[in-house]
Amino acid sequence: MHRKLHLNTRKNFAVRVTTRWNRLGLLSILRKLKSTPDQEVRILLLGLDNAGKTTLLKQLASEDISHITPTQGFNIKSVQSQGFKLNVWDIGGQRKIRPYWRNYFENTDILIYVIDSADRKRFEETGQELAELLDEEKLSGVPVLIFANKQDLLTAAPASEIAEGLNLHTIRDRVWQIQSCSALSGEGVQDGMNWVCKNVSTKKK
Protein backbone atom coordinates (compact mmCIF):
# COMPACT_ATOMS: atom_id res chain seq x y z
CA MET A 1 0.00 0.00 0.00
CA HIS A 2 2.73 2.44 1.02
CA ARG A 3 4.79 1.51 -2.01
CA LYS A 4 1.83 2.12 -4.35
CA LEU A 5 1.21 5.53 -2.77
CA HIS A 6 4.89 6.40 -3.18
CA LEU A 7 4.79 5.48 -6.89
CA ASN A 8 1.64 7.56 -7.45
CA THR A 9 3.29 10.56 -5.77
CA ARG A 10 6.34 10.25 -8.05
CA LYS A 11 4.08 9.92 -11.09
CA ASN A 12 2.10 13.05 -10.17
CA PHE A 13 5.35 14.95 -9.62
CA ALA A 14 6.62 13.90 -13.07
CA VAL A 15 3.35 15.04 -14.67
CA ARG A 16 3.60 18.42 -12.90
CA VAL A 17 7.19 18.93 -14.05
CA THR A 18 6.39 17.93 -17.65
CA THR A 19 3.36 20.23 -17.73
CA ARG A 20 5.44 23.14 -16.41
CA TRP A 21 8.21 22.49 -18.96
CA ASN A 22 5.65 22.34 -21.80
CA ARG A 23 4.08 25.57 -20.65
CA LEU A 24 7.48 27.33 -20.57
CA GLY A 25 8.41 25.92 -23.97
CA LEU A 26 5.09 27.04 -25.41
CA LEU A 27 5.49 30.53 -23.97
CA SER A 28 8.85 31.00 -25.68
CA ILE A 29 7.39 29.79 -29.00
CA LEU A 30 4.40 32.12 -28.64
CA ARG A 31 6.71 35.05 -27.94
CA LYS A 32 8.63 34.34 -31.14
CA LEU A 33 5.41 34.06 -33.14
CA LYS A 34 3.98 37.20 -31.59
CA SER A 35 6.95 39.27 -32.71
CA THR A 36 6.83 38.14 -36.34
CA PRO A 37 8.98 40.70 -38.12
CA ASP A 38 7.72 43.14 -40.74
CA GLN A 39 11.04 43.23 -42.55
CA GLU A 40 14.51 41.74 -42.43
CA VAL A 41 17.56 43.90 -41.91
CA ARG A 42 21.13 42.97 -42.82
CA ILE A 43 23.64 44.32 -40.32
CA LEU A 44 27.40 44.11 -40.78
CA LEU A 45 29.34 44.01 -37.49
CA LEU A 46 32.98 44.97 -37.97
CA GLY A 47 35.97 46.21 -35.97
CA LEU A 48 39.51 45.18 -35.06
CA ASP A 49 40.19 41.87 -33.34
CA ASN A 50 39.53 41.96 -29.60
CA ALA A 51 37.17 44.95 -29.90
CA GLY A 52 34.34 42.88 -28.39
CA LYS A 53 32.20 42.17 -31.46
CA THR A 54 31.31 38.57 -30.61
CA THR A 55 30.57 39.46 -26.97
CA LEU A 56 28.28 42.21 -28.26
CA LEU A 57 26.54 39.80 -30.62
CA LYS A 58 26.00 37.24 -27.86
CA GLN A 59 24.70 40.00 -25.58
CA LEU A 60 22.16 40.94 -28.27
CA ALA A 61 21.07 37.32 -28.60
CA SER A 62 20.88 36.88 -24.78
CA GLU A 63 23.50 34.12 -24.89
CA ASP A 64 26.18 33.14 -22.39
CA ILE A 65 29.19 35.46 -22.68
CA SER A 66 31.48 33.73 -20.17
CA HIS A 67 33.45 31.86 -22.87
CA ILE A 68 34.32 33.86 -25.98
CA THR A 69 36.92 32.75 -28.52
CA PRO A 70 38.32 34.94 -31.33
CA THR A 71 36.21 34.75 -34.50
CA GLN A 72 38.28 33.09 -37.23
CA GLY A 73 35.61 33.35 -39.93
CA PHE A 74 32.20 34.80 -39.22
CA ASN A 75 29.17 34.40 -36.93
CA ILE A 76 25.60 35.07 -38.01
CA LYS A 77 22.76 35.62 -35.57
CA SER A 78 19.17 36.75 -36.02
CA VAL A 79 17.85 39.10 -33.35
CA GLN A 80 14.28 40.42 -33.23
CA SER A 81 13.77 44.03 -32.21
CA GLN A 82 10.95 46.54 -32.69
CA GLY A 83 9.28 44.72 -35.59
CA PHE A 84 12.56 43.95 -37.36
CA LYS A 85 14.44 40.71 -37.80
CA LEU A 86 18.05 41.81 -37.53
CA ASN A 87 20.42 39.42 -39.31
CA VAL A 88 23.80 40.33 -37.84
CA TRP A 89 27.00 39.25 -39.59
CA ASP A 90 30.00 39.31 -37.23
CA ILE A 91 33.22 39.04 -39.26
CA GLY A 92 36.61 38.35 -37.65
CA GLY A 93 38.82 41.41 -37.20
CA GLN A 94 42.32 39.93 -37.40
CA ARG A 95 44.56 41.69 -39.92
CA LYS A 96 44.69 38.62 -42.22
CA ILE A 97 40.85 38.42 -42.29
CA ARG A 98 40.11 42.12 -42.94
CA PRO A 99 40.70 41.94 -46.73
CA TYR A 100 37.73 39.52 -46.84
CA TRP A 101 35.35 42.04 -45.23
CA ARG A 102 34.43 43.36 -48.68
CA ASN A 103 32.89 40.00 -49.58
CA TYR A 104 30.05 40.82 -47.16
CA PHE A 105 29.32 44.46 -48.12
CA GLU A 106 26.51 43.64 -50.59
CA ASN A 107 22.97 44.62 -49.45
CA THR A 108 24.11 45.91 -46.05
CA ASP A 109 21.41 48.03 -44.37
CA ILE A 110 23.40 49.12 -41.31
CA LEU A 111 27.11 49.06 -40.48
CA ILE A 112 28.02 48.60 -36.80
CA TYR A 113 31.67 49.31 -36.07
CA VAL A 114 33.05 48.30 -32.66
CA ILE A 115 36.02 50.02 -31.03
CA ASP A 116 37.93 48.94 -27.92
CA SER A 117 37.84 52.26 -26.04
CA ALA A 118 40.62 51.13 -23.70
CA ASP A 119 43.11 50.17 -26.43
CA ARG A 120 44.47 53.65 -27.18
CA LYS A 121 47.53 52.28 -29.02
CA ARG A 122 45.24 51.05 -31.79
CA PHE A 123 43.02 54.12 -32.21
CA GLU A 124 44.95 55.13 -35.32
CA GLU A 125 44.64 51.65 -36.82
CA THR A 126 40.92 51.35 -36.07
CA GLY A 127 40.32 54.86 -37.42
CA GLN A 128 42.06 53.96 -40.66
CA GLU A 129 39.97 50.81 -41.10
CA LEU A 130 36.76 52.75 -40.45
CA ALA A 131 37.75 55.48 -42.95
CA GLU A 132 38.36 52.81 -45.61
CA LEU A 133 34.95 51.26 -44.93
CA LEU A 134 33.24 54.63 -45.30
CA ASP A 135 34.94 55.05 -48.69
CA GLU A 136 33.63 51.73 -50.00
CA GLU A 137 31.19 52.15 -52.87
CA LYS A 138 28.99 49.22 -51.77
CA LEU A 139 28.60 50.82 -48.31
CA SER A 140 27.84 54.25 -49.71
CA GLY A 141 25.18 56.05 -47.66
CA VAL A 142 24.76 53.10 -45.26
CA PRO A 143 24.02 54.39 -41.72
CA VAL A 144 26.88 53.64 -39.31
CA LEU A 145 26.71 53.03 -35.57
CA ILE A 146 30.04 53.14 -33.75
CA PHE A 147 30.04 51.31 -30.44
CA ALA A 148 32.70 52.76 -28.11
CA ASN A 149 32.99 49.47 -26.24
CA LYS A 150 34.63 48.45 -22.92
CA GLN A 151 33.45 51.56 -21.07
CA ASP A 152 33.47 49.39 -17.93
CA LEU A 153 37.29 49.65 -17.91
CA LEU A 154 38.92 52.56 -16.05
CA THR A 155 41.33 53.19 -18.94
CA ALA A 156 38.53 53.59 -21.52
CA ALA A 157 38.45 56.83 -23.51
CA PRO A 158 35.03 58.53 -23.53
CA ALA A 159 32.99 58.35 -26.74
CA SER A 160 33.36 62.13 -27.27
CA GLU A 161 37.17 61.84 -27.28
CA ILE A 162 37.05 58.92 -29.75
CA ALA A 163 34.63 60.83 -32.02
CA GLU A 164 36.99 63.80 -32.09
CA GLY A 165 40.08 61.65 -32.68
CA LEU A 166 38.42 59.85 -35.60
CA ASN A 167 37.05 63.11 -37.07
CA LEU A 168 33.55 61.66 -37.12
CA HIS A 169 32.10 65.18 -37.41
CA THR A 170 33.42 65.27 -40.99
CA ILE A 171 31.08 62.44 -42.08
CA ARG A 172 28.51 64.10 -44.36
CA ASP A 173 27.29 61.33 -46.69
CA ARG A 174 25.28 59.28 -44.15
CA VAL A 175 23.69 59.33 -40.71
CA TRP A 176 25.99 58.14 -37.95
CA GLN A 177 26.05 57.73 -34.20
CA ILE A 178 28.70 56.92 -31.61
CA GLN A 179 27.39 55.05 -28.57
CA SER A 180 29.25 54.32 -25.32
CA CYS A 181 28.71 50.74 -24.25
CA SER A 182 29.97 47.72 -22.36
CA ALA A 183 29.30 44.49 -24.22
CA LEU A 184 30.16 42.67 -21.02
CA SER A 185 27.50 44.30 -18.83
CA GLY A 186 25.12 45.19 -21.67
CA GLU A 187 25.08 48.86 -20.69
CA GLY A 188 24.44 51.14 -23.67
CA VAL A 189 23.88 48.22 -26.08
CA GLN A 190 20.08 48.60 -26.25
CA ASP A 191 20.40 52.37 -26.77
CA GLY A 192 22.56 51.67 -29.80
CA MET A 193 20.12 49.09 -31.18
CA ASN A 194 17.22 51.52 -30.72
CA TRP A 195 19.15 53.94 -32.95
CA VAL A 196 19.70 51.14 -35.50
CA CYS A 197 15.95 50.32 -35.68
CA LYS A 198 15.02 53.98 -35.96
CA ASN A 199 17.48 54.65 -38.77
CA VAL A 200 16.91 51.50 -40.73
CA SER A 201 13.20 52.32 -40.81
CA THR A 202 13.89 55.76 -42.31
CA LYS A 203 16.34 54.26 -44.84
CA LYS A 204 13.94 51.50 -45.97
CA LYS A 205 10.88 53.67 -46.51
> What are the two backbone dihedrals, phi and then psi, of residue 38, each rounded to the nearest 5 degrees?
-80, -35
**What residues are designated binding site for GTP?**
47-54, 93, 149-152
Query: Per-residue pLDDT tens for 17-67?
Result: 444 444 445 555 555 544 544 578 899 999 999 999 989 988 888 888 777
Catalytic residues: 94
Contacts with 1 (C-beta within 8 Å, 6 or more apart), sequence order: none
Better-predicted residue by pLDDT, 2 or 161: 161
Query: Per-residue pLDDT tens for 74-130?
Result: 778 888 777 778 888 888 889 898 998 999 999 999 999 999 999 999 999 999 999
Instruction: Name residue 166's beta-bridge partners.
Output: none
Give me the pLDDT at residue 7, please.
Answer: 45
**What residues are designated binding site?**
47-54, 71, 93, 149-152
Query: Per-residue pLDDT tens for 138-172?
Result: 999 999 999 999 999 999 999 999 999 999 999 99
**What residues are designated binding site for Mg(2+)?**
54, 71
Mean of pLDDT values over 186-200: 91
pTM (predicted TM-score)? 0.78
Contact 148, 178 (CB under 8 A): yes
